[in-house]
């Protein structure tokens, strides 16, 4: 990216002054090195988002931003309903409510290490992943409607997990305002056998070791200790969310003209929040958010069952579950006034600071856990939301390493078998139904996640709490 188009406000804050259709500035939070490495398309997309009706303060890009669909991946933008603001299907994306859930196992690395290969094999057998996989539940139409309203709470009622889990899930596991009637029959059909499946692509299940603690007080509140083993699950709303994205992108494109919206790029398809279409999309998207939380709850149950076979004394407790592809109605302070805003986070994690009423009581004094996935061969991080971050980008932070190479280029450079063997040489056991899928997800195809989280911390978006090293990776 050409830095001449940006003005540098600090080592990790870069502004794009409004021009053309932009109503607000673009603000990129990243180190100079990360900004230089970003595709020019990121800036173009930041500028396009800045031109949407009703946008408030700025169009933001996180340190892991890369070329997405309409919005950059790693994009954050908030809209005011009173100011004619919009909701964008493109701004949420096709993988609605994709997110990360991390479970503590209470086991040390020394306890897990002797059984690690057996654990990898058992998890690979137990958790359906990859193309064509089906979950442990076939949903009837009525069950799916209940799931879309009940989220993770529905899963718990059905015997997947514990009621205590709900306390440490975003929205306590249930997104209010879901409307199953706003979800097409095609979307529902696509989901009926997919509950409890991981999916493919960048989705994964990892067993990880806590290898470094950066903020001991917060880590203690999160009950994270060095040398302990955790499990992280990265996936979303599966076929339901994919089809809702497809359906509403088409409807929003068709109706944009009627609402007087002149789109600079079709992927920015959106509708006024107070329009019928906008409200229908919100209802459908929230149904998909519930589906995603229900899905991760079922997968967590499968993980617990597997651990109980190999480590009968282990008790897996939920650290947190947070999504990174959403639009949520939230209250934020803007120019000294509290305002209700619809905050789009596309490839960006909500990162509320200490004291926020939406946080579980157990974490409220410390800030929200922010779960950041890296690549198979590097590391993942647990961050904490900060007070400063609330004023930066509406309480948002990064979501992962972000790709640096396309899938096409990755398969040109690496072979799946060689990647699996190389990772095994570094003590990371990979299990996947597809070697080509592994090649596409090779660690070298991702940015340095350490540089990304360092930039997030330096920019004040979130604070580093712990670094996690992968031990086992189940890839779809």
Partner 1 sequence: MPNILPRWEHFDHQSDIGVRGLGRSREEAFVQAAQALTAVVTDPARLVARASVRVSCQAPDDEMLLVAWLNAIIYEMATRGMIFGRFTVACQGMRLDGEMTGERIDRERHQPAVEVKAATVTCLRVACDETGVWTAQCVVDV
Residue ranges that bind partner 1, judged by CB under 8 A:
39, 41, 66-70, 73, 93-95, 130-132, 134, 186, 189-190, 199-201, 239, 242-243, 245-246, 249-250, 253-254, 266-267, 269, 403, 405-409, 433-437, 440, 476
Residue 214 burial (CB < 10 Å; 0-12/13-18/19+)? middle
Going by C-alpha positions, the residue among 400, 350, 348 that lies closest to residue 374 is 400
Distance (Å, rounded) from C-alpha 197 to C-alpha 164? 23
Cβ pair 432, 424 in contact under 8 A: no
Measuring CA to CA, how many Å separate 419 from each of 88, 131, 414, 428? Answer: 38, 20, 7, 11
Which is the catalytic residue, given 234, 399, 408, 426? 399
Q: Which of 345, 346, 372, 373 is nearest to 457 (CA)?
A: 372
Nearer to partner 1, 189 or 339 (CB): 189
Q: How many whole angstroms separate alpha carbon 449 and alpha carbon 375?
A: 8
For 271, the enclosing helix (H) or strand (E) is strand 270-272
C-alpha span between 112 and 357 (Å, rounded): 37
Q: What interhelical angle do 238-255 and 276-310 show, nearest 10?
A: 170
Rounded to the nearest whole angstrom, what is the least distance from the CB of residue 26 to partner 1 in the complex?
18
> Smallest gap, in angstroms, from Cβ of residue 254 to partner 1?
7
Cβ-based nearer residue to partner 1, 272 or 347: 347
Q: How far is the CB of 143 from partner 1 (least distance, A)?
A: 17
HEC assignment per residue over 382-400:
EEEECHHHHHHCCCEECCE
Residue 170 is encoded by which pair of tokens? 């975003």
Instruction: Name which of 170 and 440 has its Cβ closer to partner 1.
Output: 440
Residues β-bridged to residue 349: 397
CA distance 88 to 267: 9
Which 3 state secondary structure label does DSSP give 264?
coil
Does 399 participate in catalysis according to the annotation?
Answer: yes
Is the Cβ–Cβ distance between 346 and 68 less than 8 Å?
A: yes
Q: How far is the CB of 192 from partner 1 (least distance, A)?
A: 8
Nearer to partner 1 by Cβ, of 102 and 432: the residue is 432
Bridge-based pairing of strands 55-69 and 26-28 is: parallel
CA separation, residue 179 to residues 147, 267, 284, 285, 322 (Å): 11, 24, 6, 8, 21
- Rank residues 138 and 157 by Cβ distance to partner 1 and give the closer one: 138
DSSP H/E element including 109 = helix 109-112
- Please identify, using beta-carbon distances, which residue of 10 and 134 lies nearer to partner 1: 134
Instruction: Supply the minimum distance, in Å, between the C-beta of residue 392 and partner 1.
Output: 24
Q: Which is nearer to partner 1, 108 or 184 (CB)?
A: 184
Q: Least distance (Å) from partner 1 to the CB of residue 324?
A: 14
Catalytic positions:
399
């Amino acid at each position: 990216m050409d830095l001449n188009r940006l003005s540098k406000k600090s080592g990790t804050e870069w502004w794009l002054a409004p021009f053309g259709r932009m109503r607000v500035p673009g603000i990129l939070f990243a180190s100079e090195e990360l900004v230089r490495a970003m595709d020019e398309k990121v800036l173009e997309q930041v500028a396009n988002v800045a031109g949407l009706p009703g946008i408030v303060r700025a169009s933001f890009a996180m340190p892991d931003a890369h070329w997405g669909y309409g919005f950059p991946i790693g994009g954050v933008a908030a809209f005011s309903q009173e100011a004619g603001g919009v909701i964008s299907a493109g701004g949420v994306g096709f993988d609605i409510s994709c997110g990360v859930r991390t479970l503590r196992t209470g086991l040390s690395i020394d306890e897990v290490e002797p059984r690690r290969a057996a654990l990898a094999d058992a998890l690979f057998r137990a958790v359906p992943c990859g193309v064509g996989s089906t979950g442990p539940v076939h949903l009837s139409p009525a069950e799916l409607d209940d799931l879309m309203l009940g989220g993770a709470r529905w899963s718990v009622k059905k015997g997947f997990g514990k009621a205590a889990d709900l306390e440490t899930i975003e929205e306590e596991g249930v997104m209010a305002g879901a409307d199953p009637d706003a979800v097409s029959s095609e979307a529902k059909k696509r989901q009926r056998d997919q509950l409890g499946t991981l999916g493919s692509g960048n989705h994964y299940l990892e067993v990880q070791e806590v290898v470094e603690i950066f903020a001991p007080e917060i880590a203690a509140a999160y009950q994270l200790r060095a040398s302990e083993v955790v499990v992280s699950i990265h996936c979303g709303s599966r076929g339901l969310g994919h089809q809702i994205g497809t359906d509403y992108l088409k409807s929003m494109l068709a109706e944009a003209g009627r609402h007087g919206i002149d789109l600079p790029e079709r992927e920015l398809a959106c509708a006024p929040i107070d329009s019928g279409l906008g409200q229908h999309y919100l209802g459908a998207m929230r149904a998909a958010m519930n589906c995603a939380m229900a899905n991760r709850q079922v997968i967590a149950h499968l993980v617990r069952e597997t651990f109980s076979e190999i480590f009968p004394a282990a008790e897996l407790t939920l650290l947190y579950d947070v999504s990174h592809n959403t639009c949520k109605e939230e209250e934020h302070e803007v120019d000294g006034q509290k305002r209700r805003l619809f905050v789009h986070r596309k490839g960006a994690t909500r990162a509320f600071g200490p004291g926020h009423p939406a946080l579980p009581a157990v974490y409220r004094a410390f800030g929200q856990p922010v779960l950041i996935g890296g690549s198979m061969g590097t590391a993942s991080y647990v961050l904490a939301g900060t007070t400063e971050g609330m004023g930066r980008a509406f309480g948002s932070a990064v979501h992962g390493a972000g790709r640096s190479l396309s899938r096409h280029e990755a398969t040109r450079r690496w072979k799946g078998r060689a990647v699996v063997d190389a990772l095994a040489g570094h003590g990371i056991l990979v299990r996947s139904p597809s070697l080509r899928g592994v090649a596409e997800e090779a660690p070298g195809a991702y940015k340095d996640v350490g540089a990304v989280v360092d930039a997030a911390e330096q920019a004040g978006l979130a604070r580093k709490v712990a670094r996690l090293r992968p031990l086992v990776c189940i890839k779809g």
